[in-house]
Structure 1
Amino acid sequence: MRPVEEPPTARQIKRWRRYLANERAEAAVYRELAHRKEGTERDILLRLADSESRHEEYWRAKLGEYVGMPQQPGLHTRFMGFLAKNLGSVFVLALMQSAEARTPYVDDADAPDQIAADERVHSEVVRGLAEQSRERISGGFRAAVFGANDGLVSNLALVLGILGSGVSPTIVLITGISGLLAGALSMAAGEFISVRSQAELIEATRPNDEIDRVIPELDVNANELALVYRARGLEEDEAQERAREALEQFRQAELNSQVPAGAAPASKESGVDGAWAAALSSFCCFGLGALIPVLPFIFGASISVGAVVAIILVSMALLFTGGVTGVLSGRPPLWRAVRQLLIGLGAAGVTWALGSLFGVVLG
């Protein structure tokens, strides 16, 4: 005779209903992301959605007659649904990675081990998808975040340093605008040179496919082609084997009158385009960040009021950029935001102290 199961407690019913709503919403998030993708990424996201739907059915069956009316998912899950519909997938994937990794099922005796294991695996799957998205935006994002933070911190430090020396608001405004323009142009030039130099360095070490054109003319006995493969990192025996295979392929192609013409040299336009994109991103983001500390003085604020407002505005901006960096890195954003704030205000505080010192000495 099977034992009679005790009815769930009110606390269990409430928790299970929340699980049910969250699983339903997460499945919808994955399906929304899948609509924006194609190929392998689309298939993976749809499979994740199907898995979340299976979890949803588990909690629905476990609730049974206590399932009640559909509930709203948690605020975090609703926020991810909003992002999935209105913003790029990289933000959503980064948030989903964190959510899957922090699954509550691990510590819940009512959740089967299989579902908890599924959620852990989902975290790794989403991590892989998010990594691809991060790689696509890494260059521009790095330039944008670095430019914005540099503009915020450097111009706030410059403004506070000038304020500490006791000059008028007009001088502070002129100095801040000059710092904005000089810093933005310097950042743009630096990013352009950096990205172009990196592209040229990579281009110099990339294997030259033009070598294919001379393979049929090589001396089979001397087989200089093996040296090419050895220079690319293969062991001697493996290099010799690869060279023999390449020569045999070209011999067969020649007999069939299908000798390849050789690959066209790699285009360098992508490196140039990337350099200009990084430069423009740095210029705009540095300029936007550097504008914030001088905004109060553009609107005619006094020295004391302008300093307070500038510090508040920059603090909010530093918290935002730090939080965004944390989200995209798949880690808790709060500490990244606070760290960014402390570093930025610390640098500005040191500059203000030095400005005050020089003001006293020169005064």
Structure 2
Amino acid sequence: MTESALYEALARREGGRNGEVLLRIAADERRHGAVWRRHTGVEVRPQRWRVWFYLLMARLFGFTFAVKLLEKREDRAQEGYGDIADRFPEVGAIVADETDHEKALIGLLDEERLRYMSSILLGLNDALVELTGALAGLSLALADAETVALAGLITGIAAALSMSASEYLSQKSEGGGHPLKAALYTGTAYLMTVAVLVLPFFVLSHPLTALAFTLVGAVAVIALFTFFMTVVRDVPFRRNFVEMLSISLGVAAVSFLIGLAARRLLGTDV
């Protein structure tokens, strides 16, 4: 019943052909609910908080993410059906419906942001590696958090514009997709990451404390994006998370040592 309410809400949000497919799936879910209501004699209402949660995920991370996340929940339900198939003859038809739902949903998954996932990944990865390293080095070379914040912000904005221009030229030379859209996705991902990484230096007065929060923010961004990729692309979470984390923190550590060396050799103390 929860899934029926959710698919109806998604249908209203999507509209058009997608909405029609989602309404058909919602009707099937209501019918499945009626089967179990007949067996149990229990009337249940949709879990509104769960409906709200998936709608929020669809709004924040896209329709594809929400649907893929829901699919994983349905896969677990299908495993449970196998344990009771011999007691309830309707289970076979329900499992067949769920399989059809999965095929129908896969047919809907053509979201623009996924077509430009490589551009988003480029901006996000580049910002994490470059700016985390730059902020780590600046935190040791410069003893003032506000100065580090301004230097990091200027560096981040300049790098975002540079990456956007490079992505535009790259896409145009390859002759595929929309170069301007790819550039905008790259630049937006870069700037959003810059905001997360630089913010602690504007809020906190001690640069090393701010750097610690920046590193926590970097880990959070990596975890969130890796989880997103795990859901929409069915890739392993741990291996991709460790790889991205190792690269970003490794560059930050090297930059930190360079900043320390620069401060001692040049005697910089701003």
Worse-matched range after superposition: 317-326 or 78-87: 78-87
**In the alignment, is residue 328 of structure 1 matched against residue 221 of structure 2?**
no
**In the alignment, is residue 347 of structure 1 matched against residue 251 of structure 2?**
yes
Aligned length: 260
User: Residues 132-160 of structure 1, C-alpha deviation per residue, up to 9 Å, x if partnerless?
Assistant: 23xx3334443234313321332011111
Partner of 2:6: 29
SS in 1 for 2:66: helix
Partner of 2:74: 100
Partner of 1:168: 143
Partner of 2:106: 127
SS in 1 for 2:194: helix
SS in 2 for 1:102: helix
Per the TM alignment, residue 53 of structure 1 is displaced from its structure 2 partner at its CA by: 1.7
Partner of 2:28: 51
**In the alignment, is residue 42 of structure 1 matched against residue 19 of structure 2?**
yes
1:1-363 superposed matches below 5 A:
24-35=1-12, 36-39=14-17, 41-64=18-41, 67=42, 69-73=43-47, 79-83=53-57, 88-103=62-77, 104-109=79-84, 112-130=91-109, 132-133=110-111, 136-164=112-140, 166-169=141-144, 172-199=148-175, 274-299=178-203, 301-329=205-233, 340-356=244-260
C-alpha root-mean-square deviation of aligned residues, in Å?
A: 3.3
Q: TM-score, normalised by structure 1?
A: 0.60
Partner of 1:225: none
- The question of whether the paired residues in 2 share the 8 Å contact of 1:29 and 1:80 is answered with yes
Per the TM alignment, residue 75 of structure 1 is displaced from its structure 2 partner at its CA by: 6.2
- The question of whether the paired residues in 2 share the 8 Å contact of 1:34 and 1:43 is answered with yes
Distance 1:278 1:60, change over 3 A: same
Give the partner amino acid of 2:47: P
Distance 1:127 1:346, change over 3 A: farther
- The runs of 5 or more residues in structure 2 that have no matched partner are none
Distance 1:34 1:171, change over 3 A: closer
Per the TM alignment, residue 98 of structure 1 is displaced from its structure 2 partner at its CA by: 2.4
Q: TM-score, normalised by structure 2?
A: 0.78
User: Residues 323-362 of structure 1, C-alpha deviation per residue, up to 9 Å, x if partnerless?
Assistant: 2333333568687656644543343234334544565677
CA–CA separation in structure 1 for the residues paired with 2:82 and 2:235: 21
CA–CA separation in structure 1 for the residues paired with 2:225 and 2:71: 20
Distance 1:105 1:113, change over 3 A: farther
- The question of whether the paired residues in 2 share the 8 Å contact of 1:180 and 1:287 is answered with yes
User: Residues 176-221 of structure 1, C-alpha deviation per residue, up to 9 Å, x if partnerless?
Assistant: 234213311220111110121122xx5xxxxxxxxxxxxxxxxxxx
Distance 1:198 1:323, change over 3 A: same
Give the partner amino acid of 2:107: G
Give the partner amino acid of 2:35: Y
User: Residues 279-336 of structure 1, C-alpha deviation per residue, up to 9 Å, x if partnerless?
Assistant: 2332232123123333233345213212212112222222223223333335686876
CA–CA separation in structure 2 for the residues paired with 1:140 and 1:119: 30
- The runs of 5 or more residues in structure 1 that have no matched partner are 1-23, 203-270
Give the partner amino acid of 1:43: E
Distance 1:87 1:157, change over 3 A: closer
The answer to which structure has the higher helix fraction is 2
Per the TM alignment, residue 116 of structure 1 is displaced from its structure 2 partner at its CA by: 2.8
CA–CA separation in structure 1 for the residues paired with 2:200 and 2:258: 22
Distance 1:96 1:127, change over 3 A: farther
- The question of whether the paired residues in 2 share the 8 Å contact of 1:185 and 1:283 is answered with yes
Distance 1:320 1:106, change over 3 A: same
Per the TM alignment, residue 60 of structure 1 is displaced from its structure 2 partner at its CA by: 0.5
Task: Give me the identity figure in percent.
Answer: 26
Give the partner amino acid of 2:183: A
Worse-matched range after superposition: 177-186 or 111-120: 111-120
